Each structure stands twice: as C-alpha cells, then as structure tokens.
Amino acid sequence: MSDKKWKPQIVGFACNWCTYAGADLAGTSRLKYPANLSLVRVMCTGRIDVSHILAAFARGADGVFVGGCHPGDCHYLSGNFKAQARVALAKRLLAQFGIEPERLYLEWISAGEGTKFADVIVQFTERVRELGPNPTHLELG
C-alpha cells in the first residue's frame, strides 16, 4: 500500500532537560537516524496533553514520539510519570479512532544517551514505516 517514496512524518515531543539534550548529543556525536522526525521542545513531558498527541494524528502524523527523563530523573520530580499515564490514555483513544496504538511511542532518554536516542528513532521510524500511512484523518473540533 505504501509506495517507495512515502516518507512517514513523525512528530516528537522532547523535554528540555533529558531527551532534547540527548538528541543534541546524538548530533554532536554525528550519529545518524532517519529524517522523518521533527522535535517540539517542551520544558517537561508533563506539559504534553492528550489533545496535543491527538492533534498531531489528526493533522496527519504517521507517528508520535514522546521522550522524557528516566524515572527518578525528572527535573520537575514526576512530570515523566504524568506523561506515561497520558500516553497510556492516548493509546486507548487512538485504538478507538482506528489508529494503531503502536504509532505512539514513549521512551525515557537521558541527556547522556545520544546513542540511545538515535537507536530509538531508527527503530521507531522503521516500525511506523511498517505500519504504513496514518489510516485516518481525525476531525477534531
């Protein structure tokens, strides 16, 4: 169903303290990963609302990635756990909308884990590629 030229679009949310810095480290280390991901920087993954995730899918994103601090490392103590809960909720909603929950992916990546960031993005992009294009356009009010 997907032609060879199809380029999945992935929106990423990354917290300022851990994952965004980890992505920077991947860059400084010149690690390579597919160019399908664009990051939106937030201070904390706890800022990410289910509506942000749904909006991304509604506007055609093929995958959404959320990257936060490891448990215990959150700059704001527990924002990462809030994100974890909201991602779980969003996954259930996605399934009801006919979108595979696997298109939404949460991972803990610290500021020192440049390699992990690159690896995670390589794997997630591949998974989204296998899933094919976002099957639906949600009409959110």
Q: Is 33 in the site for other proteins (CB under 8 A)?
A: yes
Give the whole-angstrom CA distance, residue 116 versus residue 110: 9
Helix (H, G, I), strand (E, B) or coil at 38: strand
Is the Cβ of residue 40 or residue 95 nearer to other proteins in the bound state? Answer: 40
Strand order in the sheet with 10-15: 37-42, 10-15, 63-68, 104-108
Kindly state the smallest distance separating residue 74's Cβ from other proteins, in Å: 8
Q: Are the C-beta atoms of 57 and 98 separated by less than 8 Å?
A: no
Q: Is 56 in the site for other proteins (CB under 8 A)?
A: yes
What is the contact surface with other proteins in residues (CB under 8 A)?
7, 9, 11, 16-18, 20-21, 23-24, 26-28, 30-35, 38-44, 46-52, 55-56, 59-61, 72-79, 82, 86, 110-115, 118
